[in-house]
Amino acid sequence: MRTRNKENLQSNTSVKRIGLFGGTFDPPHIGHLIIAETAWEQLGLEKIYFVPAYIPPHKRGKKCTPVSHRLAMIQLALKGNRHFDKLDCEIKRRGVSYTIDTLRDIKEQYCDDDLFFILGSDNLQQFNTWKKPDEIVKLAHLVVYERPNIPIPRKYSSAIRLNGPLLDISSTDIRAKAMEQRSIRYLVPKAVEQYILKHRLYGK
Ligand code: ATP
């Protein structure tokens, strides 16, 4: 990414195609990784940044695992993939994490890059309830991955659609399994599974 300060991202003079993948990542699961890898490959992206929300707007009032744990799990999940990285701008900004604010911050600093904002079809369905959706689509291309039983809304047929297997995996389901002391093996990377168990993140 071309950058005026080198805080988090690499600097370079050429225009780059950069993916941004926002979420709560509570915990990050293999669905997230498959989606990001699919986007990287199908869109020819230079890099994909996972952007954990500090307070997700649509989950306000719901209990969320402390951000330090979510960040640590993302770090573990991304390890070993050189084109994945995390961006902690929403955490540093604190407060409710609106995508428009994040995109403006990123555009301000890394003005020349072409941004691709990746989301699942569940989020695209609610996209018109997000803060400033019309501005979001001016700053970044929307990229959507279909979720089981949640078709891509016609209104956003211009969003770039990723082709991949439907993934019936969610953090909600993984938390519920962990809470019931059922296996979450293979649903999250091994290191994430070990972290969850070690810190008893979703225990009763
Ligand atoms: P939760 O169950 O807690 O709501 P989640 O599994 O949806 O979590 P998030 O961290 O909220 O995970 O998701 C980050 C992004 O990834 C969102 O845009 C979401 O729509 C997308 N996403 C997550 N899981 C899938 C999946 N299985 N298929 C397609 N998109 C997904």
Q: How confident is the model at residue 204 (pLDDT cuts 50, 70, 90)?
A: low
Between the CA of 146 and the centroid of ligand 1 the distance, in Å, is 10
Q: How confident is the model at residue 14 (pLDDT cuts 50, 70, 90)?
A: confident
Closest of 155, 83, 171 to residue 121, by C-alpha: 155
pTM of the model: 0.93
Predicted local distance difference test score (pLDDT) of residue 180: 96
The finding on whether 24 has its CB within 6 A of some atom of ligand 1 is yes
The finding on whether 48 has its CB within 6 A of some atom of ligand 1 is no
Between the CA of 87 and the centroid of ligand 1 the distance, in Å, is 17
Between the CA of 82 and the centroid of ligand 1 the distance, in Å, is 22
The finding on whether 171 has its CB within 6 A of some atom of ligand 1 is yes
Q: Are 174 and 32 in contact (CB under 8 A)?
A: no
The finding on whether 172 has its CB within 6 A of some atom of ligand 1 is yes
pLDDT digits (tens, 9 = 90+) for 95-143: 999 999 999 999 988 778 899 999 999 999 999 999 999 999 999 999 9
The finding on whether 31 has its CB within 6 A of some atom of ligand 1 is yes
Between the CA of 171 and the centroid of ligand 1 the distance, in Å, is 7
The finding on whether 97 has its CB within 6 A of some atom of ligand 1 is no
In three-state form (DSSP H/G/I as H, E/B as E, the rest C), the secondary structure along the chain is: CCCCCCCCCCCCCCCCEEEEEEECCCCCCHHHHHHHHHHHHHHCCCEEEEEECCECHHHCCCCCCCHHHHHHHHHHHHCCCCCEEECCHHHHHCCECCHHHHHHHHHHHCCCCEEEEEEEHHHHHCHHHCCCHHHHHHHCEEEEECECCECCCHHHCCCEECCCCCCCCCHHHHHHHHHCCCCCECCECHHHHHHHHHCCCCCC
What is the number of the ligand 1 atom nearest to the C-alpha of 168?
27
Predicted local distance difference test score (pLDDT) of residue 1: 55
pLDDT exceeding 90 applies to what percent of the chain? 82
pLDDT digits (tens, 9 = 90+) for 35-79: 999 999 999 999 999 999 999 998 767 889 999 999 999 999 999
The finding on whether 161 has its CB within 6 A of some atom of ligand 1 is no
Give the residue, out of 24, 173, 175, with the most ligand 1 atoms within 8 A of its beta carbon, to mutate for a pocket test: 24
Between the CA of 44 and the centroid of ligand 1 the distance, in Å, is 22
Q: How confident is the model at residue 4 (pLDDT cuts 50, 70, 90)?
A: very low
Predicted local distance difference test score (pLDDT) of residue 13: 54
